[in-house]
Amino acid sequence: MSFRTSPSAIDYVEDVSPGSGALPPRAWYASSDAKSLSLNGSWRLRVSPTADAEDDSFAEPGFDAGDWAEVAVPGHWVLQGDGAFGLPIYTNHLYPFPVDPPHVPTENPTGDHLHLFDLPEDWPSEGGSVLRFDGVESCARVWLNGTDIGEFKGSRLPHEFTVGHLLKPSGNVLAVRVHQWSAGSYLEDQDQWWLPGIFRDVTLLHRPAGSVLDFFVNASYDHITGEGTLRVDSDVDGRVSVPALDIDVATGETVTAAVQPWSAEVPKLYDGELVTEGERVPLRIGFRTVELADGLIKVNGRAVLFKGVNRHEWHPEKGRALDLETMRADVLLMKRHNLNAVRTSHYPPHPAFLDLCDEYGLWVIDECDLETHGFTEQAWRDNPVDDDRWTPALLDRAARMVERDKNHPSVVIWSLGNEAGTGRGLTAMAEWIHGRDASRLVHYEGDWNSRDTDMYSRMYASHAEIEQIGQELDGGTHKRRELPFILCEYGHAMGNGPGGIADYQELFEKYDRLQGGFIWEWIDHGITHPELGYAYGGDFGEELHDGNFVCDGLVFPDRRPSPGLLEFKKVIEPVGIEGDGTDGTVRVTNKQDFADLSAFAFEWSYQVDGETVESGSLSVPALAPGASADVKLPEPPADHGGGESQWTVRALLAADTAWGPEGHEVAWGQLPGTARALPSIAASDGPVPGDGVITLGPASFDARTGALRTIGGVEVSGLRLDVWRATTDNDEGAEWQTGTRYAELWRKYGLHRMRHRLDGVEVGDDALTVRTRVAPAAWEFGLAAVYRWTSDGNRLKLTVSVGPEGEWPVPLPRLGVRFGLAQADGVKWYGGGPGEGYPDTKSASRLDRWESTVDGLQTPYLRPQENGARADVRWAELGGLRIEGDPEFFLTARRWTTEQLDAAAHLTDLKAVETVWVNLDHALHGIGTGSCGPGVLPQYQLRAEPVEFSFVFSEIS
Ligand code: IPT
């Protein structure tokens, strides 16, 4: 018995096969002379609640869709129409429907799309035509002029259909029925929003007689001879020319010439052309050889160190329907932040993105559109990749990726997919890919024994484990022991962080076998939302969702760099600039793999107390990759008033490049000079008790509680020891993580509700001393905190002594004082900046003088959390006060309390209060990557230990 009106008509939806009617996959290219017609634009849309709610009469010419909505194609219907067509759903790995492959729910939002078009007048009447879809999620059936031409799955892969015989000069009716859920959805369980729609281009391509079909550009480079070898295999015979190399040969013929090789650092492309009887196709040829040699991934004979990122396609309004300028923005941002590699997690990107990678230079791991992660919940039972019935669909996906992208020099590694467990289907994919393209390597993280792959790849492995792998002490199969290692995901950039990436980079640089990694991930997938600013999982009322786990990028949804990107940029600099400042030299190291240093100009400057007193250019030899030199610095300026001094040496682009202007900074380093003199004041003034008030120098205190009230004319409220921070995503951790979930522990032990017991206010001869005990209800551990105030009459010094009592079961989130100021706006400081820095995220924090505002200090993490601390601050000025630290401190100031920050779910929840809350932290607990990965390394944990620190306050006159 059937509950469906026309069951067989929608059988294809749950069919595990890849589809029917589409042409075999082939290379993606833009012809020079064959006509094409973009069918992007405004389309009519009707969304039905089930796959079979409507019959296919809408596909018939003459159907009146006048009352249908209009939507943009490319686009996702759930991101258009203000929710009228349904809403986005975010899940990480859980399928948002019952797991019963290949069945999908009856509630299967189905978008019937209609587009009418005329052929341009000059559309040739001879030859054929092909209709190409570059991406449709998740399953589509297509009719042209009432004829059913086929159906397909494989959302982020191209599908082409022969349509020439169906076209009319005008009034063509293209009908596309798109189902949100299909058997294909089981293969597309990537950690991202589920977004149905025709989200990439739709194009009609004229195919003249004798036109190019498929072709494979084989362009290798022999680093010994310096010669490139070119052979273009083409389904249709023709000629290949490369004018700059004097090449003009038949297809299939091999030719050798002296060439400049392609690399991500020097992405030399040669313009060429493939000419068949009926068509001319431009080629952009990069000569390079990828191989596994000496247990390493080598390109052109050299081992590559990947400084990469995982890139999902994302735009806060358009979802995965990216335009060219957005793709270019990604590539330019990556290049300007020293990245050299992209893993196209977890599907082949829009093909234009790979053109940009070829052109600007990025190593690419091109990943297939495959993830079956949700099967992990049932111990991988019924996993499609281990079920032969699905193998044709897997092979189809592999072929569609490889055939489409095989002519990109930037693509050096094929990846079978992500988080799909293990199984025969994956082995079949790897075998097929190896057979089809021996010129690249194969990657798949789930294959821990590297049975099918050419490298050992892992995600989120700890520093300690990576070090073992680097030392080849990790065991594993014989095959794996011979292979290089990459971390295909690490440094989970969710919220504040990632912490500890400098420590990873040190290991990557130390052990040859470790060939780098790819930060998870490039961009926060926040969706522009009228009330919430940016929406994340759950904000659309999803019954199942994973909250803000979808916001874990190095750039915010609008592509503003987050502090994590700036940290990564510093950590992966192409030039090392180091020294201890003792011998008048700076050690410069070329950390690139291919290029010498000639693209960079070097500058030095000498600062005293953060003010530059002298500067100039530094001549650095054009060191070869991997080479170092000790470069002599000028004599330090003779007299500089005895302040703290340092050298800053910077490497800048010497000339404009395709991706950055002359003067763009790629690397920097600071070398210490004269050490800083700590602030000292003579305790020459003593506290004077008065009527309910104690005065001391410029300050007044509450006589009963010892609480600070004013410093000169500046009102100060609520100054006290503070150990709490609004927990970060990394503090929260994830339930599957083995590392410590600090937030839970901290809350269990009440660190967010510490009580302050006043034990005594002592008015001494030269000091006011306030003794307290700071501890949470229910527990016996605590902190004895003594505030000792002294003054020289003008300045006020606070020395805080902290003594842990009892057994402290957890590290502290922070340790310092916090207080409220009635007003503050502008902020100046001498210390680390310009952006935030925490103990394990402050590589990019540069010692200098900085200026900002209280608002400007905030980092807008989509889910509000601890942020904005400036590290290594010597002194700061805000709200009429100058604060000097002994020793240096972390400075935070915000228009809301930590408690408000902690409670907020979106930035729009943060409402400024009257008071500006300032934290001066002696220390902070590190950040780590516990939201998905190892927690805070021991050296960055903040343990409760006896400690003393001071601040000197004065009113700014
Ligand atoms: C890993 C996934 O591969 C990636 O898609 C993303 O979900 C990431 O985690 C977390 O943001 S899988 C994880 C179980 C290690």
The CATH number of residue 201's host domain is 2.60.120.260
The residues, any chain, with a CB within 8 Å of residue 739's CB and separated by 6 or more, are: 733, 928, 930, 933, 934, 935
- Contact by Cβ (8 Å): 953, 795: yes
Predicted pLDDT of residue 740: 80
**Mean pLDDT score of the chain:** 97
User: What token pair was written down for 346?
Assistant: 């977890």
Dist. CA 556 → ligand 1 center (Å): 18
Say if 65 falls within a structural domain: yes
Look at residues 493, 519, 188 and name the one whose alpha carbon lies nearest to residue 348: 188
Q: Is residue 34 a contact partner of residue 205, using CB atoms and an 8 Å limit? A: yes
**Exposed, middle or buried by CB within 10 Å (0-12, 13-18, 19+), for 676?**
middle
Beta carbons of 458 and 488 less than 8 angstroms apart: yes
Query: Does 313 reside within a domain?
Result: yes
Going by CA atoms, what residue is nearest to atom 6 of ligand 1? 191
Same domain, 877 and 916: yes
| Residue 576, beta-bridge partner list | 589
- Cα 910 to chain centroid distance, Å, stands at 25
* C-alpha dist (Å) from residue 682 to 794, 797, 952: 11, 10, 11
Q: Does the structure show a pLDDT above 80 at 175?
A: yes
pLDDT for 452-505, tens place per residue?
999 999 999 999 999 999 999 999 999 999 999 999 999 999 999 999 999 999
Q: Is 593 in the pocket of ligand 1 (CB under 6 A)?
A: no
Judgement on whether residues 789 and 745 belong to the same structural domain of the protein: yes
Cα separation, 369 vs 394, in Å, equals 9
User: What pLDDT is recorded for position 562?
Assistant: 98
Q: Write down the pLDDT at residue 730.
A: 97
429 burial class (0-12, 13-18, 19+ CB within 10 angstroms)?
Answer: buried
CB 841 within 8 A of CB 567: yes
Per-residue pLDDT, averaged over 260-289, amounts to 98
- State residue 637's pLDDT score: 86
Q: Is 677 inside any structural domain?
A: no
Does a structural domain hold residue 539? yes
Q: How many domains does the chain have?
A: 5
The Cα–Cα gap between 749 and 944 comes to 14
567 Cβ below 6 A of ligand 1: no
CATH number at residue 737: 2.70.98.10
Provide the pLDDT for residue 642: 76
Report how far residue 785's alpha carbon sits from residue 783's, in angstroms, rounded to the nearest whole number.
6
Asked if 80 contacts 110 with a C-beta cutoff of 8 angstroms, the reply is no
Do residues 240 and 137 share a domain?
A: no
Q: How confident is the model at residue 2 (pLDDT cuts 50, 70, 90)?
A: very low
In degrees rounded to 5, what are phi and psi of residue 279? -160, 150
681 domain-assigned: no
Beta carbon of 419 within 6 Å of any ligand 1 atom: yes
Using most ligand atoms within 8 A of CB, pick from 489, 737, 931 the residue to mutate for ligand 1: 489
**Domain shared by 233 and 269, yes or no:** yes
**Residue 754: what pLDDT?**
98
Which of 311, 367, 419, when mutated, tests ligand 1's pocket best, judged by the most ligand atoms within 8 Å of its CB? 419
> Phi and psi (nearest 5°) for 464?
-65, -40
CATH number for the domain harbouring residue 260: 2.60.40.10
Q: Where are the beta strands (DSSP E) in 39-164?
A: 41-50, 69-73, 89-91, 107-117, 128-133, 136-137, 139-144, 147-153, 159-162
444 compared with 3, residue with greater pLDDT = 444
How far is 510 from 73, CA to CA, in rounded Å? 49
Looking at 289, 314, 344, the residue that finishes a domain is 289
List pLDDT tens digits, range 677-719.
Answer: 999 999 899 999 999 999 999 999 999 999 999 999 999 999 9
Q: What is the pLDDT of residues 578-622, one digit of tens each?
A: 999 999 999 999 999 999 999 999 999 999 999 999 999 999 999
Q: What percent of the chain has pLDDT over 70?
A: 99
List, in sequence order, every residue forming a beta bridge with 257; answer none if it has no partner. 228
Rounded Cα gap, residues 353 and 406, in angstroms = 14
Please tell me the predicted confidence (pLDDT) of residue 6.
Answer: 46
Cβ neighbours for 731, distance < 8 A, ≥ 6 positions apart: 725, 741, 742, 743, 746, 813, 865, 866, 930
Q: How many CB atoms lie within 10 A of CB 765?
A: 7
pLDDT digits over 718-761, tens only?
Answer: 999 999 999 999 999 987 766 689 999 999 999 999 999 999 99
State the CATH number of the domain containing residue 526: 3.20.20.80
Query: Does the CB atom of residue 371 touch ligand 1 within 6 A?
Result: no
**Closest Cα to residue 406, out of 474, 461, 351?**
351
Give yes or no: residues 198 and 84 share one domain: yes
Angle at 239 between CA 233 and CA 242, to 5 degrees: 95
Asked whether residue 732 is assigned to any structural domain, the reply reads yes
Of the candidates 188, 279, 489, 866, the residue annotated as catalytic is 489
- Which tokens go with 91? 């899940």
Residues 549 and 692 in one domain: no
| Residue bearing the CA closest to ligand 1, atom 12 | 419
Note the pLDDT tens digit of each residue in 353-363.
Answer: 999 999 999 99
The amino acid that residue 486 corresponds to is I
Q: Are residues 596 and 745 in the same domain?
A: no
User: What pLDDT is recorded for position 116?
Assistant: 98
Atom of ligand 1 nearest to the CA of 418: 3
Place of tokens 């201890």: 580
Domain termination residue (choose one: 207, 242, 277): 207
* Nearest CA residue ID for atom 7, ligand 1: 191
User: Among the atoms of ligand 1, which is closest to the Cα of residue 419?
Assistant: 3
Res 117 pLDDT > 80:
yes
pLDDT on residue 839: 98
Closest Cα to residue 417, out of 372, 449, 371? Answer: 371
Establish how many alpha carbons lie within 13 A of residue 228's alpha carbon, considering only the half-sphere containing its beta carbon: 24
Which range is least confidently modeled, 1-10, 64-73, 93-102, 799-808?
Answer: 1-10
3-state secondary structure of 769: strand
Reply yes or no on whether the pLDDT at 382 is more than 80: yes
Cα Rg of the chain (Å, integer): 31
H-run or E-run covering 790: strand 782-791
Ligand 1 close to Cβ of residue 92 (< 6 A): yes
Closest to 514 (Cα-Cα) out of 554, 576, 458: 458
Q: State which of 289, 313, 338 marks the end of a domain.
A: 289
Confidence of residue 372 (pLDDT cuts 50, 70, 90): very high
**What value does the mean pLDDT take over residues 294-308?**
98
Mean pLDDT of 434-461: 97
Whole-number pLDDT of residue 738: 63
Which amino acid, 686? G
Whether 158 and 28 share a structural domain: yes
Per the annotation, the verdict on 489 as an active-site residue is yes
Looking at the whole model, is its pTM more than 0.75?
yes
Does the beta carbon of 310 sit less than 6 angstroms from any atom of ligand 1?
no
Flag whether 679 is in a domain. Answer: no
Would you call 213 exposed, middle or buried from its count of C-beta atoms within 10 A (0-12, 13-18, 19+)? middle
269 and 239 share one domain: yes
Q: Which of 137, 419, 573, 732 is catalytic?
A: 419
Does residue 445 line the site of ligand 1, with CB under 6 A?
A: no
Kind of pairing between the strands at 306-310 and 341-343: parallel
Cα of 345 from ligand 1 centre, angstroms? 10
69 and 131 together in one domain: yes
The verdict on the CB of residue 519 being under 6 Å from ligand 1 is no
Can 419 be counted among the known catalytic residues? yes
* 850 closest CA partner among 643, 673, 610, 613: 610
Domain boundaries, position 638: 573-672
Report whether pLDDT(1) > 60.
no
> What pLDDT score was predicted for residue 410?
99
What is the maximum alpha-carbon separation in the chain? 104
Considering the domain architecture, whether residues 556 and 413 belong to the same structural domain is answered as yes
Q: Mean pLDDT throughout 27-48?
A: 98
Mind listing the pLDDT tens digit for each residue in 632-685?
Answer: 999 988 866 779 999 999 999 999 999 999 999 999 999 999 999 999 999 899
Residue 76, pLDDT score = 98
DSSP 442-454: EE-TT-TT-SS-S
Q: What is the pLDDT of residue 17?
A: 93
Q: For residue 558, which phi and psi values (nearest 5 degrees)?
A: -85, 10
The reply to whether 300 and 271 lie within a common domain is: no
Structural domain contains residue 233? yes
**Distance (Å, whole) CA 458 – CA 463:** 12
Cα 526 to averaged position of ligand 1 atoms, centre (Å): 17
Q: By the 8 A CB rule, do 952 and 796 touch? A: yes
